[in-house]
């Protein structure tokens, strides 16, 4: 009998456009990461910021990334400002693709945002 898939677990690949500060990662497979700070109970990801709210500790900051708009939307992920690929894995298999998230001033308050800019993010613990 045929197997019926309801969901597939697969890897994810950086899909970086030319001119990005992460262009060297284009079509590289991204490793999984977990933010685990045993001495702190809460973790938040704040989009469009690189600093944490008062009384929170910054664990890392980076770029807000997700699937492309034309695909089924996924969760937004904060990718470290200095991300790494999986060593030896650059076969361009396109399992799932991570794209930069950019601003669009159509409905977004500009300023303080600027149109078509990469969005940063920060991961904070408390």
Q: Is 25 helix (H, G, I), strand (E, B) or coil?
A: helix
- pLDDT for 14 equals 86
Pairing mode, if any, of strands 97-100 and 57-66? Answer: antiparallel
- What's the mean pLDDT when you consider all of the chain? 83
Query: pLDDT tens digit string along 36-93?
Result: 778 888 999 999 999 999 999 999 999 999 887 665 656 888 999 999 888 876 667 7
Q: Are 16 and 28 in contact (CB under 8 A)?
A: no
Report the alpha-carbon distance of residue 40 to residue 114 in Å, rounded. Answer: 34
CA distances from 85 to 47, 52, 89, 90 (A): 23, 26, 7, 8
- Are 59 and 37 contacting, i.e. CB atoms less than 8 angstroms apart? yes
The answer to whether the beta carbons of residues 85 and 105 sit under 8 Å apart is: no
Whole-model pTM: value is: 0.77
Which pLDDT value is given to residue 98?
Answer: 86
- How far apart (Å, rounded) are the C-alpha atoms in residues 78 and 36? 15
Residue 31's pLDDT band (cuts 50, 70, 90): confident
Residue 23 phi/psi, 5-degree rounding, is -55, -30
């Amino acid at each position: 009998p045929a197997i019926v898939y309801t969901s597939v677990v697969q890897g994810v690949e950086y899909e970086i456009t030319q001119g990005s500060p992460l262009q060297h990662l284009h079509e590289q497979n991204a490793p999984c990461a977990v933010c685990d700070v045993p001495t702190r109970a809460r973790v938040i990801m704040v989009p469009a910021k690189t600093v944490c709210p008062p009384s929170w500790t910054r664990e890392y900051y980076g770029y807000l990334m997700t699937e492309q708009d034309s695909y089924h939307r996924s969760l937004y992920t904060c990718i470290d400002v200095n991300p790494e690929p999986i060593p030896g894995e650059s076969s361009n298999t396109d399992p799932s693709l991570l794209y930069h998230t950019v601003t669009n001033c159509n409905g977004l308050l500009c300023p303080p945002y600027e149109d078509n800019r990469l969005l940063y993010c920060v991961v904070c613990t408390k």
